[in-house]
C-alpha cells in the first residue's frame, strides 16, 4: 500500500473541530501540542521451549500499541500463540524462544530491553527469527522483509510470497525503527511480516476485519518456512559452530 504524500497529525478529539476549521481555510498554520509525559511500567512476555539442542527458532511480535489495536496487533499475537502451541505439541528438533515485545510505539523499547538482557541465543545458533508485525491477514497488502541471505530469500519466496501473494522486501528497505531491523543488524536470519491498514493508529482499529482464509494460509506458510529452515545447510552448520 503506497503512502499518501500528505502530512499527518494525530491529536485529541477535543481539538478536531478547530483543526478542521483551520484546514478548510487553505491557510498556513503552526500547530503546537501541549501534553503531559508520565512514567509507566510495561513488560515483555518471554517463553522458552528448551530441548537442550544447539539450534533455535525465535518468534517475536509486538504486544502493545495505540487504542485497541484489533487489526494491527490481533493477528500477529494470534499467530504467535498458535505457533507456540504447535511447537510444544510437535517433536521439533529445535529450541524455541517466543518473545512478546512491549513498548513498540515508544521507540521499540521492548526489543531493546530484550537485546540488553543478554538472554538471546547467539546469531550462529539461530536458524530463523520470525517477527510477526502489524496488519497480518487484514485484507491489505502484506510484506515479507528478509535478511540479506540468499538461501533465506529463496525459502521465503517459496513458502510465503508464492502461496500467500505477499510482496518481498529486501533488508535494505526495512525501516530503521523496527524490531526486525534491529535483529537483522545483529546478524540474525530474520523474516518479518507487516502490513498497512487505514485504521491502524486510530480509534477505528476496533472491530476485527481479519480474513480467516488468509490467516490460515499465512499460518500454513509459516510452518513450511520453519520446517524448511530446520533442514537447511545454513541451520545445521550454525548449530555446529
DSSP one-letter string for 91-102? --SSEEEEEEE-
The pLDDT of residue 241 is 40
Distances (CA, A) of 162 to 113, 155, 167, 221: 35, 10, 9, 9
Residue-level pLDDT at 31: 75
**Residue 63 confidence (pLDDT):** 93
Provide the pLDDT for residue 142: 73
pLDDT number for residue 70: 86
pLDDT for 1 equals 47
User: What pTM did the predictor assign?
Assistant: 0.84
Q: Report pLDDT for 235.
A: 81
- Classify 143 as helix, strand or coil: strand
In whole angstroms, give the CA distance from residue 75 to residue 212. Answer: 10
Task: Give the total residue count for the chain.
Answer: 241
- Residues 163 and 137 sit within 8 Å (Cβ to Cβ): no
CA 144 to CA 157: how far, in whole Å?
9
Give the pLDDT confidence score for residue 88 in this predicted structure: 95
Instruction: Specify the pLDDT at position 105.
Output: 82
- H/E element, 158: none
Helix or strand run (H / E) with residue 232: none
**What DSSP designation does 166 have?**
P
Taking 70 as the pLDDT cut, the residues of the chain under it are: 1-8, 10, 140-141, 148-150, 236-241
Positive or negative, the CA dihedral 99, 103, 104, 110 is negative
pLDDT at position 7, please?
67
Q: Is the dihedral of CA 22, 23, 25, 28 positive or negative?
A: positive
Rounded CA gap, 29 and 24, in Å?
A: 11
Q: Which residues contact 202 (CB under 8 A, 6 or more apart)?
A: 66, 67
Amino acid at each position: 500500500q503506497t503512502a499518501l504524500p500528505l502530512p499527518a497529525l494525530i491529536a485529541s478529539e477535543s481539538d478536531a473541530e478547530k483543526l478542521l476549521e483551520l484546514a478548510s481555510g487553505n491557510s498556513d498554520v503552526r500547530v503546537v501540542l501541549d501534553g503531559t509525559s508520565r512514567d509507566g511500567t510495561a513488560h515483555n512476555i518471554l517463553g522458552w521451549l528448551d530441548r537442550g539442542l544447539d539450534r533455535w527458532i525465535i518468534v517475536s511480535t509486538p504486544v502493545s500499541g495505540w487504542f485497541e489495536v484489533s487489526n494491527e496487533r490481533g493477528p500477529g499475537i494470534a499467530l504467535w500463540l498458535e505457533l507456540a502451541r504447535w511447537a510444544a505439541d510437535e517433536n521439533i528438533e529445535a529450541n524455541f524462544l517466543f518473545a512478546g515485545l512491549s513498548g513498540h510505539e515508544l521507540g521499540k523499547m521492548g526489543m531493546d530491553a530484550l537485546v540488553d538482557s543478554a538472554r538471546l541465543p547467539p546469531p550462529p545458533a539461530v536458524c530463523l527469527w520470525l517477527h510477526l508485525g502489524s496488519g497480518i491477514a487484514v485484507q491489505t497488502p502484506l510484506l515479507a522483509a528478509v535478511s540479506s541471505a540468499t538461501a533465506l530469500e529463496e525459502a521465503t519466496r517459496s513458502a510465503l510470497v508464492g502461496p500467500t501473494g505477499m510482496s518481498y522486501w529486501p533488508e535494505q528497505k526495512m525501516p530503521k525503527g523496527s524490531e526486525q531491523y534491529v535483529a537483522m543488524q545483529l546478524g540474525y536470519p530474520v523474516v518479518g511480516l507487516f502490513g498497512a491498514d487505514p485504521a491502524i493508529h486510530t480509534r477505528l482499529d476496533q472491530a476485527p476485519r481479519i480474513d480467516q482464509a488468509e490467516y490460515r494460509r499465512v499460518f500454513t506458510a509459516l510452518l513450511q518456512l520453519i520446517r524448511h529452515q530446520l533442514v537447511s545447510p545454513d541451520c545445521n552448520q550454525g548449530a555446529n559452530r
